Amino acid sequence: MKYLWYHFILNLARIAFFFLGGLKSVGGKNVPRKGPTIIAPYHVSHLEPPAVACATNRPLRFMAKEELFRNKLFGKFIASLGAFPVKRGEGDTEAIRLAIAALQNGEAVLIFPEGQRGDGEHLQPVNRGVAMLAKRTGAKVVPVGIVGTHIAWPRGSKLKRHRITVAYGEPFTYDECAKGANERENRELFALELQNRIARLCEENGLSLKIERSSENSRSSGALSQST
């Protein structure tokens, strides 16, 4: 029953995107049909969660900022579609537990690797929590480039008509990146790989981003960037 409801709402959202300028999916075959999967999109707008969900037929769970659940009616609505709350700016053990449980149950979980919305010009550093989840669950990580949401509904602006492209890249795992001398370097390698893949997908579809490195990985970015 929950999947019928999920796909019903998804079809309504697809109709809405049609009138908003259209939604194009690229590389949908790269999303594994089953098994633990982390969907990791670029994030600049509130439109990304529904756009990513509409561009694939696989049901997604997703983290949503805790503030969205303060309205009980809206909170129940997004929860019915697979959302669970996360407290931003702090280690939310309950959100992490729910994400791990969903992945270990073989589900696909949408997680924004930057942790917050960007400005449409920069790709922010990857949150280390994504690396932790990828390592602990062995999930396949699918990088996702999104183009058009930075125009259709950027932060602080009104919604406008514009075509949106969602581009799914080839999946990879944490272990495939873990070629460093220690765990810290492995985490850096994973973050750089994910950042570079997302940036490449965005560029291939018309959006060039400046990649921001965290202080943790910028010290060795010259050597680590060779991993991609």
Query: pLDDT, tens digit, for every residue of 10-38?
Result: 999 999 999 999 999 999 999 999 999 99
The SS3 call for residue 4 is: helix
Mean pLDDT across 187-210 = 97
Residue entry with tokens 């709350």: 85
Q: Look at 142-146, 154-158, 200-204 and tell me which has the smallest mean pLDDT.
A: 154-158
For residue 222, pLDDT over 90 is answered with: no
Q: Which amino acid is at 43?
A: H
Position 206 scores a pLDDT of 96
Q: Shortest CA distance to 79 belongs to which of 17, 12, 9, 136?
A: 9
